[in-house]
């Protein structure tokens, strides 16, 4: 028995998993491990699945691997529907990266990033409404360039404004498995602060021009975060 105290004791048989030859499963785990370990960026689960022996459930394998690495210096983490190995955060005192500093965000950029994360999909006009100020040029640019924010689609309202959302890199960077893990998301939702609905129909005017597009108004399918409840049911987005 190893003094190093291997992680074997935390691994439990996954319920409901198909009964597969253990050697096949072991081989699958080795392949998954190698694929994710060899990559710096998160690896799509579907990509791993394609490379596993037939009949092996990728989700099952990944959950087992995650448990296997849970107490170790390197952890297997989920980033959306991707997987990545990352050093354990509590070891940050000893591990230092040679590559420069983590990107610093201006106060405004950070605020805009949070608003996009919690309210997505969200238009620029809505961001400005929440902040009560025009978004200066370059703020969104910085977030787009960092790869944390992306154009998601268009809102099905007059003018069809473009909506913004966060990316997989955003989740990866902030150590989030999924958007549900955003700190305080539930409380904010519970307090009605993410609904975008203001209790009365009155709005404080913004004196300067907001986004106004006069392009055509074909319906578009909106990517759904509805499941997350980040979208107001019924889609009254125009406050």
Partner 1 sequence: MYGTRFNPQKTDASDAAPMEELWQDNRDRALHEEGLVVDIAGFEGPLDLLLHLARTQKVDLSRISVLALVEQYLAFIERARQIRIELAADYLVMAAWLAYLKSRLLIPQQPKDEGPSGEEMAATLAFRLKRLEAMRDAATRLVNRNRLGRDFFARGAPEHIPTERRSAFDASLYDLLSAYASLRQRHAITQVTIEKRNVWSLADAREILHRLMGEVEDWTALDHFLLRYLTEPSERRTAMASAFAATLEMVREGQLELRQDGVFQPIFLRRGAQAQRGGQPDGQGDDDHV
Q: Which of residues 157-196 bind partner 1 (CB under 8 A)?
A: 169, 172-176, 182-184, 188, 191, 193-195
Q: Does 198 bind partner 1 (CB under 8 A)?
A: yes
Who's near 72: CB < 8 A, 6+ residues apart?
7, 88
> If you count them, how many residues does the chain have?
239
What phi-psi label fits residue 10: left (phi over 0), alpha (psi between -120 and 50 degrees) or beta? alpha
Helix, strand or coil, per DSSP, at residue 230: coil
Torsion, CA 92, CA 69, CA 86, CA 181, rounded to 10: -90
Helix, strand or coil, per DSSP, at residue 198: coil
User: Which residues, 161 to 200, sit near its own copies by CB under 8 A?
Assistant: 161-162, 175-178, 180-181, 183-184, 186-187, 189-193, 195-196
Letters for 122-151 (x = contact with partner 1 by CB under 8 A, - = none) are --------xxxxx-------x-xxxxx-xx
Q: Which does 132 bind (CB under 5 to 8 A by kind): its own copies, partner 1, none?
A: partner 1
Q: Which does 173 bind (CB under 5 to 8 A by kind): its own copies, partner 1, none?
A: partner 1
List the 82-87 sheet strands across, edge first: 43-44, 82-87, 74-79
Residue among 15, 16, 38, 199 that touches its own copies (CB under 8 A): 38
In terms of Cα–Cα distance, which of 224, 208, 65 is closest to 153?
224
Residue among 114, 157, 222, 232 that touches partner 1 (CB under 8 A): 114
In terms of Cα–Cα distance, which of 49, 34, 11, 47 is closest to 85?
34
Tokens of 102: 């983590």
Letters for 110-139 (x = contact with its own copies by CB under 8 A, - = none) are --------------x----------x-xxx
User: Which residues, 29 to 48, sit near partner 1 by CB under 8 A?
Assistant: 34-35, 37-41, 43-44, 46-47
- Which region, judged by CB under 8 A, interacts with its own copies, from 76-84, 94-102, 114-122, 228-236? 94-102
């Amino acid at each position: 028995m190893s003094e190093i105290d291997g992680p074997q004791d935390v691994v439990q048989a996954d319920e409901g998993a198909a009964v597969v030859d253990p050697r096949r499963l072991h081989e699958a785990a080795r392949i998954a491990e190698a694929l994710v370990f060899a990559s710096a960026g998160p690896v799509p689960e579907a990509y791993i699945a394609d490379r596993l022996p037939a009949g092996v459930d990728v989700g099952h394998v990944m959950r087992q691997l995650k448990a296997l690495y849970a107490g170790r210096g390197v952890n297997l983490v989920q980033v959306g529907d991707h997987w990545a190995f990352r050093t354990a955060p509590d070891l940050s005192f000893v591990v230092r990266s040679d590559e420069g500093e983590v990107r610093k965000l201006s106060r405004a950029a950070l605020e805009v990033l949070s608003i996009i994360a919690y309210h997505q999909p969200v238009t620029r006009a809505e961001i400005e409404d929440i902040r009560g100020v025009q978004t200066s040029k370059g703020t969104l640019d910085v977030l787009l360039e960092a790869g944390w924010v992306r154009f998601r689609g268009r809102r099905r309202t007059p003018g069809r404004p473009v909506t913004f959302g966060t990316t997989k890199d955003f989740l990866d960077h902030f150590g989030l498995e999924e958007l549900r893990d955003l700190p305080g998301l539930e409380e904010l939702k519970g307090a009605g602060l993410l609904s975008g609905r203001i209790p009365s129909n009155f709005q404080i005017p913004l004196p300067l021009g907001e986004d106004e597009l006069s392009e055509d108004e074909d319906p578009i399918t909106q990517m759904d975060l509805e499941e997350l409840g980040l979208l107001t049911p019924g889609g009254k987005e125009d406050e």
